[in-house]
Amino acid sequence: MSEEEVILVDADDRPVGSAGKLAAHQENLRHRAISVLVFDREGRMLLQRRAEAKYHSPGLWSNACCTHPRHGEEPAEAAGRRLREEMGIALPLAFAGRFAYEAPVGEELWENEVVHVFTGIHEGAILPDPDEVGAFGWREVEALRADIAARGELYTPWFRLYAAAPWFSRPAS
């Protein structure tokens, strides 16, 4: 099977080419991504601890899921697909905004992404894929922010940056 490709983009999220996913992370190439933040009706956020087998950021806590849209796939479609694949849930998602960042994520690996962020509310069972998710749980947002400030090394670099964003504490309306 060939390596999954990512969509390379400029600073305004306009496609400029493609690259293999691993190469994009090794060469620090800006690419399109999605992130999904899931809340329950009480406003708690669903977190996942990335599986130990992940090639970057293994064992770190993060948002419900992340991925890269495939060629021809809209970001909203990618968000729904990956939420089903990683967490075993399907729910209506709302676009919350775009977020650009660059951060080291492991030995000689970088994230350099323009992220389309989606939020949603979920009540019910969660059936994570154990190849993707090592653990999951719900956290009250203010306690989570405090924990990120105190013990940031337990969280993915992008998730630490998300903590200051307005969509971190509530689903988009």
- The residues that are catalytic are 66, 113
Owner of token pair 């996942």? 48
The CA distances from residue 54 to 65, 96, 131, 137, 157, in Å, are 13, 26, 8, 19, 15
CA 76 to chain centre: 13
Q: Which phi-psi region, left, alpha or beta, contains residue 15 (left: φ > 0; alpha: ψ -120 to 50)?
A: beta
User: Which of 121, 101, 108 lies closest to 164 in space, CA to CA?
Assistant: 101
The CA distances from residue 119 to 6, 58, 95, 155, in Å, are 22, 23, 7, 19
